[in-house]
Amino acid sequence: MTEKDMKHKVAKGLFWKLLENGGAQAVQFVVAILLARLLTPAEYGVVGIIMIFITIANVFVQSGFSTALVQKKHADASDFSSVCYFELVLSVGLYGILYLAAPHIAAFYEIAELKEIVRVLAIVLFPGAVISVQTAYVSRNLEFKGLFLSTLAASLISGAVSIGMAMAGFGVWAMVGQQIIYYFALMIVLFFTVSWRPEKLFSFEKLRSLFAFGWKLLCASLLDTVFNNLYGLLIGKIYNEELLGSYNRGEQFPKLIATNLGAAIQAVLLPAFSAKQDDMKEVKSMVRKAIQLSSFVVLPMLLGLFAVADTLVLVLLGEQWLVCVPFLRITCITYCFWPIHITNLQAINAVGRSDIFLKLEVVKKGLSVIALLIGMQFNVYIMVSIKAFQDFLCTFVNAAPNKKLLGYSIFDQWKDVAPPALLSVVMCATVMMAGKWLVFLPLLVRLMVQILVGVAVYAVLAGVFRLESFRFCLDGLRAMTGRERKEAR
């Protein structure tokens, strides 16, 4: 494959990955808003507690091997099939553990309903095992069009069913149904839209080879997931499920932006990084471009969300959810560091240094413990704010190895992030002032005007200061639309 063809394949993969994340998440976002109006913060908190345990269990099923499949230079049908069968067997064991642990989880949180919810919701581990291999194949071969169609279909089906269940009075079980139907629908539709199928192949040798790389990523991912969800576990126990529901809802909006837009860019670039892993100069160039581009896209959206948080919550969720606004704004700041975090970690994975990846997670979790112990001495808002500061410090930890590996230090990275960050701060302040001046307008009109002001201010400033990423986006859009029209003919 020529370099020109590779660039086109990456651009096309990015286009479909952004559509997949944007389209499916837009549907899920609308569904979440409708469910928030039909359910209470306490009901959201109950399911939030369970999802923490399911998420941790899913790490064992979906982490490590899937990244190893993408990173491996020559992964064949035997690799993919062996991982698929192994993860299905692993899911059986994990489901058994959750089934037995369910009564103890319910007793710990003093919510009897948790017992049955855990045992039912844990079923998602089985389709999750297959989906992890399917998406690894998608990422390796940049078949993001099929993933887009599959996630969109699964989101529509699960969303329609869950809204119907909520309207019929099923309460928390509406959210349980949404998760289960989404996972099974996604797995089934992916079999029709993606070219990979499991074959009658199994090799312990292949698993050992992948495990040698993947076990470190598994441990790192487990550490990261446990600590990221530790705050939710503690809020649910120390305070109550209603405050946990508000924390989860406040985190959802910025997380939707950071993890989906940022991860869309990274999911496409990881295979590209891996393909160039023997040329460190080229990897550095690509990493730098990834940080610039993801910062240019993610930062204005997060700081724009910070600016309109109160208006947005009133319009979309209603007055009962205003308690989530402080959490929303704090987590907007936390996720601003996402582009640096994920790009550095993907670069380390791409050059095959999963040992470094694991060491970084151990160091960061040490910082997390210190931040948590300090935060627990104060109220929940200060605790979450300290977590945001700790995430800032972790950018230095994640970037440290790449100073030696790629010659790209954290200070060079912050210089690349600074232009879109400064423009985003100016835009944020402008939007907040506009909100105060337009307080006489109806809420929905005020929100729309604030969004338009934010988009206009950021676009004009990006054009005036000639940001490289702005030109890159415009050129890529022109090239993409031109190429797609030519292919259509």
Residue of higher predicted confidence among 174 and 139: 174
Q: What is the pLDDT of residue 195?
A: 81
Among 12-26, 64-78, 107-121, 314-328, the least confident range: 12-26
- Across all residues in the chain, what is the average pLDDT? 81
Res. 12 pLDDT band, cuts 50 70 90: low
Mean pLDDT of 356-369: 83
In a domain, 260, yes or no: no
478 pLDDT higher than 60? yes
Does any domain span residue 463?
yes
Cβ–Cβ < 8 Å for 242, 45: yes
pLDDT classification of 139: cutoffs 50, 70, 90:
confident
Helix, strand, coil shares, percent, the chain, to 5? 90, 0, 10
Query: Regarding predicted confidence, which is higher, 349 or 268?
Result: 349
- Is 3 part of any domain? no
Average pLDDT over residues 253-261: 75
pLDDT band at 341 (very low <50, low <70, confident <90, very high): confident
Q: Are 258 and 335 in contact (CB under 8 A)?
A: yes
> Domain total for the chain?
1
Token pair of 469 as six digits: 């990423």
Q: What tokens were used for 133?
A: 């291999």
pLDDT of residue 297: 83
**Mapped to the 3 state alphabet, what secondary structure does 432-483 carry?**
HHHHHHCCCCCHHHHHHHHHHHHHHHHHHHHHHCCCHHHHHHHHHHHHHHHH
Task: Name the pLDDT band for 468 (thresholds 50, 70, 90).
Answer: confident
Stronger pLDDT, 354 or 208, i.e. the higher one: 208
Residue 292 within any structural domain of the chain: yes
Whether the predicted model's global pTM rises above the 0.85 cut = no
Q: What is the pLDDT of residue 306?
A: 96
Higher-scoring residue by pLDDT: 149, 308 = 308
Look at residue 214 and tell me if it is in a domain.
no
Least confident of 11-15, 102-106, 429-433: 11-15
On the question of pLDDT at 446 being above 90, the answer is yes
- 164 pLDDT band, cuts 50/70/90, is very high
Give the confidence band of 426 by pLDDT, cuts at 50, 70, 90: very high
Residue 158 lies in a domain: no
Within-domain flag for 203: no
Full domain range(s) for residue 307 = 272-489
Cβ neighbours, 10 Å, residue 20: 23
What are the distances in angstroms from CA 161 to CA 184, 185, 252?
13, 12, 21
| Predicted local confidence at residue 206, as pLDDT | 81
Q: How far apart are CA 478 and CA 314, in angstroms?
A: 37
Residue 220, token pair as written in the block: 């790192």
- By CB atoms closer than 10 A (0-12, 13-18, 19+), residue 280 is middle
385, part of any domain: yes
Say if CB 200 and CB 16 are below 8 A apart. Answer: no
In this predicted structure, the answer to whether residue 128 has a pLDDT above a threshold of 60 is yes
Give yes or no for residue 400 having a pLDDT over 70. yes
pLDDT at 237: 74
Q: What does the alpha-carbon distance between residue 178 and residue 450 come to, in Å, rounded to a whole number?
A: 32
Give the pLDDT confidence score for residue 37 in this predicted structure: 76
Of 229, 169, 251, nearest in space to 49 by CA: 229
pLDDT in tens, 272-308: 555 555 667 777 777 788 788 888 888 999 999 999 9
Residue 265 in this model has a pLDDT that exceeds 80: no
Residue 435 neighbours by CB distance under 10 Å? 20
- How far is 201 from 83, CA to CA, in rounded Å? 10
- Give 168 or 345, the one with higher predicted confidence: 168
Contact 435, 313 (CB under 8 A): no
Residue 390 identity (one-letter amino acid): Q
Distance of CA 143 to the CA centre of its chain: 19
